Amino acid sequence: MARKKIALIGGGQIGGVLAQLIAMRQLGDVVMYDIVEDLPQGKTLDIAEAARVDGFDVSVTGTNSYKDIAGSDLVIVTAGLPRKPGMSRDDLLTTNAKIIKAVAEGVKEYAPNSIVMIISNPLDAMVTLFKKVSGFPANRVLGQAGVLDSSRFATFIAWELGVSVKDVNAMVLGGHGDTMVPLVRYANVNGIPAMEMLERKYKDKAKAVEVMNAMVERTKMAGGEVVKLLKTGSAFYSPASSAVAMAQSILLDEKRLFPACALLNGEFGINGYYVGVTTVLGANGVERVVELSLSAEEQAALDNSVNAVKKLVEDMERLGF
CA 62 – CA 8 distance, rounded (Å): 9
Burial, 55: exposed, middle or buried (Cβ in 10 Å; 0-12, 13-18, 19+)? exposed
Contacts of 37 (CB under 8 A, 6+ apart): 64
CA 85 – CA 297 distance, rounded (Å): 32
Please list the residues that pair with 141 across neighbouring strands. Answer: 116
Radius of gyration for the chain, computed over Cα atoms and rounded to the nearest angstrom: 19
CA 310 – CA 122 distance, rounded (Å): 12
Give, for 115, the enclosing helix (H) or strand (E). Answer: strand 115-118
Q: Which residues are catalytic?
A: 176
Please list the residues that pair with 118 across neighbouring strands. Answer: 77, 143
